[in-house]
Protein backbone atom coordinates (compact mmCIF):
# COMPACT_ATOMS: atom_id res chain seq x y z
CA UNK A 1 0.00 0.00 0.00
CA UNK A 2 1.37 3.46 -0.90
CA UNK A 3 0.36 6.79 0.54
CA UNK A 4 -1.21 9.06 -2.07
CA UNK A 5 -1.24 12.22 0.06
CA UNK A 6 2.24 13.40 -0.91
CA UNK A 7 1.85 16.76 0.84
CA UNK A 8 0.88 15.24 4.17
CA UNK A 9 3.74 15.37 6.67
CA UNK A 10 4.54 13.37 9.78
CA UNK A 11 6.67 15.82 11.77
CA UNK A 12 7.58 16.19 15.42
CA UNK A 13 6.30 19.44 17.01
CA UNK A 14 9.80 20.83 17.38
CA UNK A 15 10.51 20.58 13.65
CA UNK A 16 7.30 22.14 12.34
CA UNK A 17 9.47 25.11 11.31
CA UNK A 18 10.38 22.91 8.35
CA UNK A 19 6.92 23.68 6.94
CA UNK A 20 7.98 27.31 6.59
CA UNK A 21 11.64 26.80 5.71
CA UNK A 22 12.51 23.65 3.71
CA UNK A 23 14.49 21.14 5.75
CA UNK A 24 17.92 20.12 4.57
CA UNK A 25 18.49 16.54 3.51
CA UNK A 26 19.37 14.00 6.16
CA UNK A 27 23.11 13.58 6.62
CA UNK A 28 24.38 10.13 5.63
CA UNK A 29 27.79 8.86 6.62
CA UNK A 30 29.27 5.48 5.77
CA UNK A 31 31.20 3.71 8.52
CA UNK A 32 33.11 0.91 6.80
CA UNK A 33 34.07 -2.10 8.91
CA UNK A 34 35.21 -5.67 8.31
CA UNK A 35 31.62 -6.77 8.91
CA UNK A 36 30.10 -4.41 6.37
CA UNK A 37 28.94 -0.81 6.20
CA UNK A 38 26.91 0.96 8.85
CA UNK A 39 25.03 4.07 7.73
CA UNK A 40 24.74 6.93 10.19
CA UNK A 41 21.67 9.08 9.48
CA UNK A 42 21.25 12.49 11.11
CA UNK A 43 18.54 15.13 10.67
CA UNK A 44 15.09 15.51 9.17
CA UNK A 45 14.01 13.08 6.48
CA UNK A 46 13.28 14.80 3.14
CA UNK A 47 11.76 13.57 -0.10
CA UNK A 48 15.10 12.98 -1.83
CA UNK A 49 16.58 10.88 0.97
CA UNK A 50 14.96 7.62 -0.05
CA UNK A 51 16.63 7.70 -3.48
CA UNK A 52 20.01 8.53 -1.90
CA UNK A 53 19.68 5.72 0.60
CA UNK A 54 18.56 3.27 -2.07
CA UNK A 55 21.64 4.06 -4.17
CA UNK A 56 23.94 3.48 -1.20
CA UNK A 57 22.26 0.18 -0.36
CA UNK A 58 22.78 -1.01 -3.94
CA UNK A 59 26.52 -0.36 -3.82
CA UNK A 60 27.49 -1.27 -0.24
CA UNK A 61 27.17 -4.31 2.00
CA UNK A 62 25.16 -2.38 4.59
CA UNK A 63 24.50 -4.29 7.81
CA UNK A 64 22.39 -1.66 9.53
CA UNK A 65 21.44 1.95 10.24
CA UNK A 66 22.33 4.20 13.14
CA UNK A 67 19.67 6.90 13.14
CA UNK A 68 18.93 10.14 14.95
CA UNK A 69 16.02 12.24 13.68
CA UNK A 70 13.13 14.37 14.83
CA UNK A 71 10.87 13.51 11.89
CA UNK A 72 10.34 14.67 8.33
CA UNK A 73 8.57 13.62 5.15
CA UNK A 74 6.04 10.85 5.62
CA UNK A 75 6.29 9.63 2.04
CA UNK A 76 10.10 9.38 2.18
CA UNK A 77 9.94 7.77 5.62
CA UNK A 78 7.52 5.09 4.42
CA UNK A 79 9.75 4.30 1.43
CA UNK A 80 12.84 4.10 3.67
CA UNK A 81 10.97 1.89 6.11
CA UNK A 82 10.01 -0.42 3.25
CA UNK A 83 13.60 -0.82 2.06
CA UNK A 84 14.78 -1.34 5.65
CA UNK A 85 12.21 -4.11 5.94
CA UNK A 86 13.07 -5.67 2.57
CA UNK A 87 16.81 -5.64 3.30
CA UNK A 88 16.23 -6.93 6.85
CA UNK A 89 18.45 -4.22 8.31
CA UNK A 90 19.24 -3.70 11.97
CA UNK A 91 18.36 -0.21 13.24
CA UNK A 92 19.98 1.51 16.22
CA UNK A 93 18.35 4.72 17.50
CA UNK A 94 21.25 6.52 19.12
CA UNK A 95 19.46 9.57 20.51
CA UNK A 96 16.07 10.99 19.57
CA UNK A 97 13.89 9.10 17.11
CA UNK A 98 10.53 10.75 16.72
CA UNK A 99 7.67 10.77 14.26
CA UNK A 100 8.62 9.24 10.89
CA UNK A 101 11.95 8.15 12.39
CA UNK A 102 9.94 5.87 14.68
CA UNK A 103 8.29 4.37 11.57
CA UNK A 104 11.73 3.48 10.20
CA UNK A 105 12.68 2.07 13.60
CA UNK A 106 9.57 -0.15 13.63
CA UNK A 107 10.50 -1.63 10.23
CA UNK A 108 13.86 -3.01 11.42
CA UNK A 109 14.68 -6.69 11.63
CA UNK A 110 16.15 -6.01 15.07
CA UNK A 111 15.70 -2.82 17.09
CA UNK A 112 18.27 -1.24 19.40
CA UNK A 113 18.38 2.08 21.25
CA UNK A 114 20.95 3.99 23.27
CA UNK A 115 20.74 5.18 26.84
CA UNK A 116 18.64 8.30 27.12
CA UNK A 117 17.06 7.71 23.72
CA UNK A 118 13.30 8.19 23.38
CA UNK A 119 10.96 6.97 20.65
CA UNK A 120 8.22 9.54 20.04
CA UNK A 121 5.00 9.04 18.08
CA UNK A 122 1.93 11.01 17.05
CA UNK A 123 -0.70 11.11 14.30
CA UNK A 124 -0.23 12.62 10.85
CA UNK A 125 -0.56 16.33 10.16
CA UNK A 126 -1.30 18.22 6.98
CA UNK A 127 1.12 20.68 5.34
CA UNK A 128 0.08 23.35 7.88
CA UNK A 129 0.85 21.11 10.85
CA UNK A 130 -2.85 20.58 11.58
CA UNK A 131 -5.13 17.56 11.58
CA UNK A 132 -7.93 17.37 9.03
CA UNK A 133 -10.01 14.68 7.33
CA UNK A 134 -7.28 13.78 4.85
CA UNK A 135 -4.52 13.54 7.46
CA UNK A 136 -6.78 11.47 9.73
CA UNK A 137 -7.36 9.07 6.83
CA UNK A 138 -3.61 8.76 6.25
CA UNK A 139 -3.12 8.05 9.97
CA UNK A 140 -5.48 5.09 9.60
CA UNK A 141 -3.66 3.87 6.48
CA UNK A 142 -0.33 4.20 8.29
CA UNK A 143 -1.72 2.24 11.23
CA UNK A 144 -2.62 -0.64 8.92
CA UNK A 145 0.92 -0.64 7.54
CA UNK A 146 2.27 -0.79 11.09
CA UNK A 147 0.06 -3.79 11.83
CA UNK A 148 1.74 -5.50 8.88
CA UNK A 149 5.14 -4.68 10.44
CA UNK A 150 4.11 -6.43 13.63
CA UNK A 151 3.81 -3.28 15.74
CA UNK A 152 1.60 -3.98 18.80
CA UNK A 153 -1.89 -2.47 18.81
CA UNK A 154 -1.15 -0.65 22.09
CA UNK A 155 1.53 1.41 20.31
CA UNK A 156 -0.65 2.02 17.27
CA UNK A 157 -3.34 3.26 19.63
CA UNK A 158 -0.93 5.87 20.99
CA UNK A 159 -0.15 7.04 17.46
CA UNK A 160 -3.82 7.47 16.60
CA UNK A 161 -4.69 9.11 19.92
CA UNK A 162 -1.84 11.66 19.94
CA UNK A 163 -2.62 14.88 18.01
CA UNK A 164 -0.01 16.10 15.50
CA UNK A 165 0.91 19.07 17.74
CA UNK A 166 1.82 16.75 20.61
CA UNK A 167 4.06 13.74 21.05
CA UNK A 168 3.88 10.56 23.11
CA UNK A 169 7.03 8.69 24.06
CA UNK A 170 6.96 4.91 24.24
CA UNK A 171 7.34 3.52 27.75
CA UNK A 172 9.29 0.48 28.92
CA UNK A 173 6.33 -1.82 28.36
CA UNK A 174 5.97 -0.60 24.78
CA UNK A 175 9.67 -1.09 24.11
CA UNK A 176 9.57 -4.59 25.60
CA UNK A 177 6.68 -5.49 23.28
CA UNK A 178 8.90 -4.44 20.34
CA UNK A 179 11.82 -6.53 21.64
CA UNK A 180 14.01 -3.42 21.79
CA UNK A 181 17.53 -3.95 23.12
CA UNK A 182 19.11 -1.09 25.07
CA UNK A 183 22.60 -1.38 23.67
CA UNK A 184 24.64 -0.36 20.65
CA UNK A 185 24.88 -3.40 18.34
CA UNK A 186 27.63 -1.71 16.31
CA UNK A 187 29.88 -0.77 19.25
CA UNK A 188 32.02 -3.89 18.99
CA UNK A 189 32.31 -3.39 15.24
CA UNK A 190 33.43 0.22 15.69
CA UNK A 191 35.92 -0.76 18.39
CA UNK A 192 37.31 -3.62 16.32
CA UNK A 193 37.84 -1.34 13.34
CA UNK A 194 39.53 1.29 15.52
CA UNK A 195 41.78 -1.33 17.10
CA UNK A 196 42.77 -2.68 13.69
CA UNK A 197 43.75 0.79 12.50
CA UNK A 198 45.76 1.37 15.67
CA UNK A 199 47.60 -1.92 15.32
CA UNK A 200 48.33 -1.20 11.69
CA UNK A 201 49.79 2.19 12.56
CA UNK A 202 51.93 0.80 15.41
CA UNK A 203 53.31 -1.93 13.12
CA UNK A 204 54.40 0.49 10.38
CA UNK A 205 57.79 -0.26 8.88
CA UNK A 206 60.81 1.87 9.67
CA UNK A 207 62.17 2.45 6.20
CA UNK A 208 65.47 3.93 7.39
CA UNK A 209 68.56 2.03 6.25
CA UNK A 210 70.00 -0.30 8.87
CA UNK A 211 73.82 -0.58 8.59
CA UNK A 212 73.59 -4.29 9.43
CA UNK A 213 71.10 -5.12 6.70
CA UNK A 214 72.02 -5.72 3.05
CA UNK A 215 71.97 -2.71 0.74
CA UNK A 216 68.56 -1.85 -0.65
CA UNK A 217 66.73 -3.39 2.32
CA UNK A 218 65.09 -1.59 5.21
CA UNK A 219 64.21 -2.70 8.70
CA UNK A 220 60.56 -3.27 9.62
CA UNK A 221 59.91 -3.15 13.35
CA UNK A 222 56.94 -2.30 15.53
CA UNK A 223 56.90 0.68 17.83
CA UNK A 224 56.98 -1.71 20.80
CA UNK A 225 60.07 -3.51 19.43
CA UNK A 226 61.87 -0.23 18.79
CA UNK A 227 61.15 0.87 22.34
CA UNK A 228 62.59 -2.38 23.66
CA UNK A 229 65.71 -1.95 21.54
CA UNK A 230 66.20 1.55 22.88
CA UNK A 231 66.38 0.32 26.48
Q: Say what the pLDDT of residue 198 is.
A: 53
Which tens digit of pLDDT belongs to each residue from 55-65? 888 766 888 99
49-59 vs 74-86: helix axis angle to the nearest 10? 20
| pLDDT above 50 for 219 | no
**Could you give the residue ranges of the DSSP H alpha helices within 92-182?**
100-106, 133-148, 153-161, 172-177
Q: Say what the pLDDT of residue 188 is.
A: 62
Q: Say what the pLDDT of residue 129 is.
A: 77
Of the chain, the percentage scoring pLDDT greater than 90 comes to: 42
Instruction: With 0.75 as the threshold, say if the pTM is over it.
Output: no
Which tens digit of pLDDT belongs to each residue from 161-218? 999 989 999 999 999 999 999 998 887 665 555 555 555 555 444 434 333 344 444 4
Query: Lowest-pLDDT range, 65-79, 94-108, 125-139, 141-155?
Result: 125-139
Q: DSSP of the chain, one letter per residue?
A: -----TT-EEE-GGGGGGGTSPPPPPEEEEEEETTEEEEEEES-B-TTHHHHHHHHHHHS-EEEEEEEE-EEEHHHHHHHHHHHHHTT-EEEEEEEEETHHHHHHHT-SEEEE-TT-EEEE---B-TTS---HHHHHHHHHHHHHHHHTT--HHHHHHHHHS-TTS-EE--HHHHHHTT-BSS-TTHHHHHHHHHHHHHHHHT----SPPTTSPTT------HHHHHHHH-
Q: Say what the pLDDT of residue 37 is.
A: 82
Q: Say what the pLDDT of residue 84 is.
A: 93
What confidence category does residue 97 fall into, taking pLDDT thresholds of 50, 70 and 90? very high
| pLDDT above 80 for 76 | yes
**Rounded mean pLDDT of 7-12?**
39
Q: Say what the pLDDT of residue 10 is.
A: 42
| pLDDT above 60 for 111 | yes
* Domains, in order of start, for the chain: 9-177 (3.90.226.10), 187-230 (no CATH)
b/e per residue 55-68 (b: at least 16 CB within 10 A): eebeeeebbbbbbb
Which tens digit of pLDDT belongs to each residue from 14-58? 232 232 233 467 888 888 766 678 899 999 998 889 998 888 887
Amino acid sequence: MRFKAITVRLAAPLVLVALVQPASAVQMRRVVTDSGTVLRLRGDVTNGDYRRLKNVLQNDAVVGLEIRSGGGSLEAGVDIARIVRDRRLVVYASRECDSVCAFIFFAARERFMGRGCKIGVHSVSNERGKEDADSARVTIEMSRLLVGLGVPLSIIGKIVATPPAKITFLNNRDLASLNVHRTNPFRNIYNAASLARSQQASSACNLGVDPETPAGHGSCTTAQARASEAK
